[in-house]
C-alpha cells in the first residue's frame, strides 16, 4: 500500500489549534475596530454606534502631523529599500557561485535575524555620534534606519520573482545583439515590475507600522503615527485611539492585500 501524502489536517487537534490561533490573533483586532465606533468616551462602556471619534481624529492636528511624517518616511524608506533590493536581487540571481555570495545573503537578511531592539540600540549609538559631530537632527536618520530595516522585506519577493523567471527572453534579446541595459529595460524590468511593486508595498507597510526603531531614533517633533499612538496610550486613553488604530489597520491590510494580489500565481 502506497504511503499517503502528508496532510496536516489529519493530525489530531490540528484544526482546534488553528482555530485557537486565529481567535487569539484576530479577536483583539475585532474588539479594537468595534470600540472605534463607540459613541462613549469611557473605554469598555458601550454608549451607542457613532463615527464621532473618526471625525475627532481627522481634526486632530497632532495626529495629522504624525500621519504626514509617517507617510513621508515610509515612502522614502520603501523607495530606497526597493531600489537597493532590486540591485541586490539582480546581482545574486544573475551571477551564480561568486566569492562572498553567502556573506551577501547574511548581510541582506540581518535586519530580520537580529532582534529589532538590538538593531535600534546599535543605530542609536552610531547616530548619536553623528548628531554630535554634525549638529543635524532632521528626518534623514529615520529614513536611513527604516531603509536598512526594510531592505530584506523588499528583497524577498523580488528575488523570488527573478529565480522563477524564464531566461529564454533575456537570452533571445542577447542573441539579437541587445545591450545589457536595453535587455534589462525592455525585457527584465517589465517582468519584474509586479514583484518590485509588491516589495515596495511590503517595505512601505513595515516602515509605516514600525515603532521600536522610530521610538529610539526620533528627534523632538518627529513623532510617527505608531509613536504618537504609544504616547497617547500613556497620557489619555479614549476611543479616538481606537479610531486612529483602525485607520492604520485598514491601510496596512489594503497594502498587504495589494501585495498578495500582485505576487500570486495566475492559473
Strand ranges inside the chain, DSSP E: none
Q: Is residue 256 part of a domain?
A: yes
Provide the domain limits for residue 131: 60-263
Q: Is residue 150 part of a domain?
A: yes
Q: Is residue 13 part of a domain?
A: no
Burial class (CB in 10 A: 0-12, 13-18, 19+), 70: buried
Tell me the longest C-alpha to C-alpha distance in the chain: 75
| Confidence at residue 267, expressed as pLDDT on a 0 to 100 scale | 39
Q: Is residue 32 part of a domain?
A: no
| CA atoms within 13 A of residue 78's CA, in its CB half-sphere | 22
Between helices 140-164 and 239-263, what is the axis angle to 10°? Answer: 30
The CATH number of whichever domain residue 259 belongs to comes to: 1.10.3720.10
Q: Is residue 35 part of a domain?
A: no
Q: Is residue 83 part of a domain?
A: yes
Closest CA to 226 of 243, 239, 207: 207
The verdict on pTM exceeding 0.85 is no
CB 56 within 8 A of CB 241: no
| Residue in the block written with cell 509586479 | 194
| Confidence at residue 238, expressed as pLDDT on a 0 to 100 scale | 74
How many structural domains compose the chain? 1
| Confidence at residue 4, expressed as pLDDT on a 0 to 100 scale | 63
Grouped pLDDT means (10 residues each) for the chain, 267 residues: 61 80 88 83 74 86 90 94 91 74 76 86 90 87 92 89 80 79 82 88 89 89 88 78 86 80 60
Q: Is residue 53 part of a domain?
A: no
**Chain centroid to CA 51:** 28
Question: What helix, strand, coil percent values describe the chain, rounded to 5?
Answer: 75, 0, 25
Amino acid at each position: 500500500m502506497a504511503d499517503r501524502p502528508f496532510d496536516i489536517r489529519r493530525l489530531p487537534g490540528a484544526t482546534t489549534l488553528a482555530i485557537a490561533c486565529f481567535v487569539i490573533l484576530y479577536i483583539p483586532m475585532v474588539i479594537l475596530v468595534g470600540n472605534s465606533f463607540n459613541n462613549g468616551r469611557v473605554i469598555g462602556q458601550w454608549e451607542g454606534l457613532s463615527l464621532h471619534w473618526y471625525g475627532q481624529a481627522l481634526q486632530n492636528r497632532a495626529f495629522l502631523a504624525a500621519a504626514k511624517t509617517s507617510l513621508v518616511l515610509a515612502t522614502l524608506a520603501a523607495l530606497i529599500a526597493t531600489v537597493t533590493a532590486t540591485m541586490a536581487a539582480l546581482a545574486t540571481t544573475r551571477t551564480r557561485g561568486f566569492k562572498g555570495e553567502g556573506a551577501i545573503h547574511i548581510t541582506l537578511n540581518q535586519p530580520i535575524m537580529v532582534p529589532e531592539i538590538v538593531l535600534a540600540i546599535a543605530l542609536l549609538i552610531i547616530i548619536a555620534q553623528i548628531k554630535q559631530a554634525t549638529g543635524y537632527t532632521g528626518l534623514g536618520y529615520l529614513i536611513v534606519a527604516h531603509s536598512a530595516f526594510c531592505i530584506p522585506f523588499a528583497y524577498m519577493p523580488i528575488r523570488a520573482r527573478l529565480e522563477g523567471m524564464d531566461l529564454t527572453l533575456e537570452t533571445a534579446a542577447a542573441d539579437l545583439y541587445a545591450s545589457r541595459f536595453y535587455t534589462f529595460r525592455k525585457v527584465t524590468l517589465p517582468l519584474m515590475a509586479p514583484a518590485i511593486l509588491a516589495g515596495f508595498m511590503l517595505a512601505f507597510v513595515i516602515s509605516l507600522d514600525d515603532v521600536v526603531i522610530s521610538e529610539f531614533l526620533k528627534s523632538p517633533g518627529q513623532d510617527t503615527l505608531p509613536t504618537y499612538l504609544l504616547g497617547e496610550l500613556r497620557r489619555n486613553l479614549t476611543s479616538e485611539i481606537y479610531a486612529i488604530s483602525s485607520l492604520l489597520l485598514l491601510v496596512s491590510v489594503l497594502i498587504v492585500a495589494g501585495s498578495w494580489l500582485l505576487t500570486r500565481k495566475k492559473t
